[in-house]
Amino acid sequence: MEAVQDLERHGQLVRIRSEVDPELEMAEIHRRVFEAGGPALFFERVKGSPFPAVSNLYGTFERTDFLFRHTIGKVQKVIELKADPASFFKSPLRYLSAPFTALSALPMQQRLGAPILYGRTTLSQLPQVKSWPMDGGAFVTLPQVLTLPPGSRNIMQSNLGMYRIQLSGNDYVPDKEVGMHYQIHRGIGVHHAMYNESGEPFRASIFIGGPPSHAFAAIMPLPEGLSELTFAGMLGGRRFRYLWHENHLLSADADFVITGIIRKGEKKPEGPFGDHLGYYSLAHDFPVMEVEKAYHRKDAVWHFTVVGRPPQEDSSFGYLIHKLVEPLTPQEFPGIVEIQAVDAAGVHPLLLAIGSERYMPFRERQPEEILTQANHILGSGQTSLAKFLFIAAKGDAPGLTTHDIAGFFHHVLERVDWTRDLHFQTKTTIDTLDYSGSGWNAGSKVVVACCGAKKRELATELPGGFSLPAGFSNPRFARPGILAIEGPPFAGPESYADGAELGQHLERFDMPGIPLVVLCDDSAFLGATLNNFLWATFTRANPSHDIHGAGAFFEHKHWGCRGALIIDARIKPHHAPPLIPDKTVQERVNRLFAKGGELEGLG
């Protein structure tokens, strides 16, 4: 509640006093205000619930910085010291407070008067927020899930993660069960495996709300040895307070806590859910938590967000993560200068990096060290989920940065050699939410490793006499050197040959300034904005199946092409459906934004 009051005092939050339906309506309001760069939203009257709700707290990068304005500088100093301890001796006055910041943020047990024990409720009384028409039920979209290893009550051994919670729908027994969706490379999976080998019940606690630092700590990729709860204390400027109650660990400062036991060996269908790639994640079997109790504080406010095609509110999490962990990049990935998961492409589908190329400085530059660095990136934690990794070498052009995505692609496409610079991993794991692959969590990866002098000028016009095969149409430049071409609708496995057919046809043209062709369903859409290009291209392609080329060849199991590279980014039958709002709900919400409506001027 303190964050809500802080934002309201500074004119960064508005109250919606009319009753609003959590079934699609709250999400539609949220999306419109977010897209307009509007304020945080406090829903005073949520239909079917006695509790108010708040969203869009992190709706702009500026507001995210504002929420943590008193502590962000101190946390950055701690992380800088973690990256380079010698920095303390170089600038002792700058870092004098850093050790005290870390030590004073250690979790603290609260034994008396915990606000979270004020009242009890049921799951059905919580705001049943449903964001998209095909969602399988109501979901907790900003949960903080805490678990401990078997037999441990040591708070420093806890794992705090943001794992999607399905509150209702499907086969879940109302008020008794929730779905626990977590993906690969998550800390809770380690605990789950340990409990499967033990005789102890797998207890878990779900926190909702509390200080914004607690939600952020649940998604922060932290360096080894720094607990999420200590980080929450540092970023919040107040130690994480907790208590033990009926064999469960509770956050004393949360707005709500749901406790229960994750059943071993039992799963139920969870989903569908409109997710942050801009598509639905479909129903799959996931663990089930048997609910024991649901607690709330006196002035409890339900915190939620709405995800969908990026950018959305959760983009601010990525912004703040990058801002904090950037100093750790050289320590985590030796030789890497910059690394960026591209939010507009759904984060994991596309990763950009700049590395150092120092192996053979006495001869013509070519990708060598950056290949080693690329393998490190794909073998480490969350970055291992990258599907397309473009890595360039530092020193080939002044001012190169991954923060300028258009400029980075321009740099790579001016220099790339498709006969040499493509490196595939087939039959491997990809992001759970990415349905472009060959199965659930299954797909492929490609590294584009680019180094050396500029090879070409990028074209913005088609070569003379250009033509397309029957069924292909509407060529349009999405960016300099990137040509979007519409193909026939993808009908089934036989349609994979369309990319090869297009490649064979393009061999007849002299088009060195067009190194990349995207085969798509709608070239006007793909070429309209940079974000459209990034989203449609990299969320809809599986490298091993969907990359083709003009002048394609195999050489000792290495695949390359002598002409343009072709990425088949058409929608395939096995892809998850894209997110489309409900028109009836949109019309209902229009009234709130119409002249004289409660939200006039915000959308």
Q: What is the pLDDT of residue 79?
A: 72
pLDDT band (50, 70, 90) for residue 365? confident
Q: What is the pLDDT of residue 303?
A: 98
Neighbouring C-alpha atoms within 13 Å toward the C-beta of 78:
22
Q: What is the pLDDT of residue 2?
A: 84
Q: Could you tell me the domains of the chain?
A: 2-67+105-303 (2.30.110.10), 315-450 (3.40.1670.10)
Cα(155)–Cα(230) distance, integer angstroms: 10
Q: What is the pLDDT of residue 91?
A: 62
Who wins on pLDDT, 81 or 119? 119
Across 183-187, 243-247, 339-343, least confident range: 183-187
Cα(237)–Cα(239) distance, integer angstroms: 7
Quick check: 95 pLDDT over 60? Answer: no
Q: What is the pLDDT of residue 500?
A: 96
Q: What is the pLDDT of residue 200?
A: 94
Cα(217)–Cα(46) distance, integer angstroms: 27
The closest alpha carbon to 241, from 207, 266, 272, 271, belongs to 207
Quick check: 102 pLDDT over 90? Answer: no
Cα(206)–Cα(142) distance, integer angstroms: 10
Token pair, residue 128, equals 């049943």
The SS3 call for residue 203 is strand
Q: What is the pLDDT of residue 277?
A: 92
Q: What is the pLDDT of residue 247?
A: 94
Predicted confidence (pLDDT) per residue in 260-315, tens digit: 999 998 999 999 999 999 999 999 999 999 999 999 999 999 999 999 999 999 99
Q: What is the mean pLDDT of residues 25-32?
A: 97
The SS3 call for residue 437 is coil
The closest alpha carbon to 516, from 548, 541, 539, 488, belongs to 548
Q: First CA to last CA across the chain, in angstroms?
A: 25
pLDDT band (50, 70, 90) for residue 602? confident
Cα(140)–Cα(36) distance, integer angstroms: 24
Burial (CB < 10 A; 0-12, 13-18, 19+), residue 564, is buried
Q: What is the mean pLDDT of residues 588-600?
A: 81
Could you tell me what percent of the chain has a pLDDT over 90? 77
Across 174-183, 352-361, 395-404, 504-513, least confident range: 352-361
Token pair, residue 518, equals 């995207």
Instruction: Measure the CA angle with vertex 199, ends 197 and 204; round to 5°.
Output: 90
pLDDT band (50, 70, 90) for residue 242? very high
Report the relative pairing of strands 108-109 and 53-55 from DSSP bridges.
unpaired
Could you tell me what percent of the chain has a pLDDT over 70? 95
Whether the ω angle into residue 311 lies within 30 degrees of 0, i.e. cis, is yes
Quick check: 96 pLDDT over 60? Answer: no
Q: What is the mean pLDDT of residues 210-231?
A: 86
pTM of this prediction? 0.91
Contacts of 204 (CB under 8 A, 6+ apart): 145, 146, 147, 180, 259, 260, 261, 262, 289
Q: Do residues 71 and 236 lie in contact, with contact meaning Cβ atoms separated by under 8 Å?
A: yes
Predicted confidence (pLDDT) per residue in 471-521, tens digit: 999 999 999 999 999 999 999 999 999 999 999 999 999 999 999 999 999
Q: What is the pLDDT of residue 185?
A: 52
DSSP string, 324-378: HHGGGHHHHSTTEEEEEE-GGGTSTTEEEEEE---S-TTS---SSHHHHHHHHHT
Across 25-29, 394-398, 511-515, least confident range: 394-398
Who wins on pLDDT, 538 or 104? 538
Q: What is the mean pLDDT of residues 88-103?
A: 60
Q: What is the pLDDT of residue 222?
A: 74
Cα(487)–Cα(462) distance, integer angstroms: 17
Can you tell me which residue has the tokens 């998604």? 219
Q: What is the pLDDT of residue 89?
A: 55
Contacts of 32 (CB under 8 A, 6+ apart): 38, 589, 593, 599, 602, 603
DSSP 8-state secondary structure symbol assigned to residue 288:
E
pLDDT band (50, 70, 90) for residue 100? low
- Pick from 69-78, 321-330, 557-566 the range whose average pLDDT is largest: 557-566
Q: What is the mean pLDDT of residues 213-223?
A: 87
Quick check: 411 pLDDT over 80? Answer: yes
Q: What is the pLDDT of residue 86?
A: 59
Contacts of 525 (CB under 8 A, 6+ apart): 532, 536
CB atoms within 10 A of CB 469: 15
3-state secondary structure 554-576: EECCEEEECCCEEEECCCCCCCC
Predicted confidence (pLDDT) per residue in 137-165, tens digit: 999 999 999 999 999 999 999 999 999 99
Contacts of 261 (CB under 8 A, 6+ apart): 201, 202, 203, 204, 289, 290, 292
Q: Which residues pair with 353 in a beta bridge?
A: 339, 391
